[in-house]
Amino acid sequence: MITTAVQEDLYPSRTSSQPEWIPRKDPVVHSEGRAPSTPLTSELVADFERDGFISIPSLFSEEEVDAYWTELKRLSSKREIRENGSTITEPESGDVRSIFNIDRVSEVYNRLARDPRLQNVVRYLLNDDVYIHQSRVNFKPGFRGKEFYWHSDFETWHVEDGMPRMRCISASIALTENNEFNGPLMLIPGSHKQFISCVGETPADNYKSSLKKQEVGVPDESSITRMADEYGIRAPKGPAGSVTFFECNTLHGSSGNISPYPRSNVFFVFNAVSNALVDPFCGRDPRPEHIANRTDFTPLKPL
């Protein structure tokens, strides 16, 4: 096991009775020079720098998505997967909300995480080798899929996991069409340039409730309103196989899905090896390994 260390807190949160806006201290794009092709372009790099996210339609084919669905059905049918503690259910219905550690329980998804179409993007933008901080599949079934409230992933990963700096990117691969009706991912472009500290002390074992409904570590409503008024809100849409890459500090969320159409996405969180976790900045015990990998920072080898 790799030992962790205490490090200066550049982005304090949950330490004050009032929220604070802290200017970003880290680059957004860590590489310089010409972007690699397939699929990243210089235009997309500029968009990521400005907005904190990019969306690439149909990056994966229908046949590839079908294979991912087949594998997901196989995993979902296994009793040990549903009951192993890394599967999160909805607080009321008991429906599966998320399956974590998807790259560790499935060779199919492990290979997807190392696919050059993902790796070429994150390795260039982060200018480093990467490892998987977290992986999961999120389900949002038709009629009853619950919302994910506005948040910055980095705020939680920093405070509760000990991620030191903003050098981490999520890739969301659509397994179903994402449209305006089925509770799509919504992002506030430009919000990644400010860190919004949150109010409220971190409870012990906060993850047990926050993964079902997050209430601690969410921005105050006035800050969200101010961000939305200044930058607007965008919801990338596209067919299954589309991918949205978003910077770890970009404010995002999604509404509930009352449409008949389900929405399911695979998330891989790629953290720079140089940004490996230290002790959580909230002073609590680390979250479980299936939520925050802190034992294996071995760089992924692209296929």
Q: Which long-range contacts (CB under 8 A, 24 or more apart) does 179-182 make?
A: 179/237, 179/261, 180/235, 180/237, 181/257, 181/259, 181/261, 182/140, 182/142, 182/145, 182/257, 182/259, 182/261, 182/262, 182/263
Residues spanned by the domain of 65:
21-28+40-275
CB neighbour burial string for 30-46, b if at least 16 within 10 angstroms, e if fewer: eeeeebeeeebeeebbe
Q: Is residue 64 part of a domain?
A: yes
Against a cut of 0.85, is the pTM above it?
yes
Q: Is residue 293 part of a domain?
A: no
Q: Is residue 35 part of a domain?
A: no
pLDDT tens digits, 234-285 = 999 999 999 999 999 999 999 999 999 999 999 999 999 999 999 999 999 9
Residue 1 pLDDT grade (very low, low, confident, very high; cuts 50, 70, 90) = very low
The domain that holds 84 is classified in CATH as 2.60.120.620
**C-alpha to C-alpha distance for 165 and 27, rounded to whole angstroms:** 10
Q: Is residue 229 part of a domain?
A: yes
pLDDT tens digits, 119-157 = 999 999 999 999 999 999 988 889 988 888 999 999 999
pLDDT tens digits, 173-215 = 999 999 999 999 999 999 999 999 999 888 887 766 655 566 7
Q: Is residue 61 part of a domain?
A: yes
Number of compact structural domains in the chain = 1
pLDDT tens digits, 11-45 = 999 999 999 999 999 999 999 887 777 799 999 99
pLDDT higher than 70, residue 6: no
